[in-house]
């Protein structure tokens, strides 16, 4: 009877060990599945971030090109304004010289007329 009891307990312990082993294998399988899911999730997130980074780099490149284009256009406008101002300044200087010449001629004419009047008065 004692030997039967020992065998029964050994069988019970072996069954318990087998159940523990099965439970441990199940937990390890679940943990492996979870780790795989987490790894896949992070890999997906990393791929998404890479795509966002690529898009951002393209946008930065496009913005740089636009900025360079705007700077070039700005320089063209500045150059055009400088040229126009130089032309207007030259035109004004020419007009001033023309007026100075006219005034000088008028002064000469006045002086001649004054001299003529003085000569007539004498």
Tokens for 93, please give them.
């200087």
Residues 6+ apart with CB under 8 A from 119: none
DSSP 8-state class, residue 105: H
CB burial readout 45-59, b (16+ within 10 A) else e: eeeeeeeeeeeeeee
Q: How much is the pTM?
A: 0.51
The per-residue pLDDT for 107 is 87
8-65 per-position pLDDT tens digit: 999 999 899 889 999 999 999 999 999 999 999 999 999 999 999 999 999 999 999 9
Of 49, 42, 19, 21, the residue nearest 34 (C-alpha):
42
């Amino acid at each position: 009877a004692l030997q039967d009891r020992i065998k029964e307990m050994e069988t019970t312990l072996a069954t318990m060990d087998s159940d523990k082993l099965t439970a441990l294998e199940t937990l390890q399988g679940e943990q492996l599945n979870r780790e795989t899911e987490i790894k896949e999730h992070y890999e997906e997130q990393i791929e998404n971030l890479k795509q966002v980074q690529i898009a951002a780099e393209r946008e930065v490149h496009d913005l740089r090109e636009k900025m360079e284009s705007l700077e070039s256009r700005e320089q063209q406008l500045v150059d055009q304004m400088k040229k126009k101002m130089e032309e207007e300044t030259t035109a004004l200087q020419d007009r001033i010289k023309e007026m100075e010449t006219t005034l000088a001629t008028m002064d000469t004419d006045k002086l001649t007329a004054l001299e003529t009047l003085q000569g007539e008065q004498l």
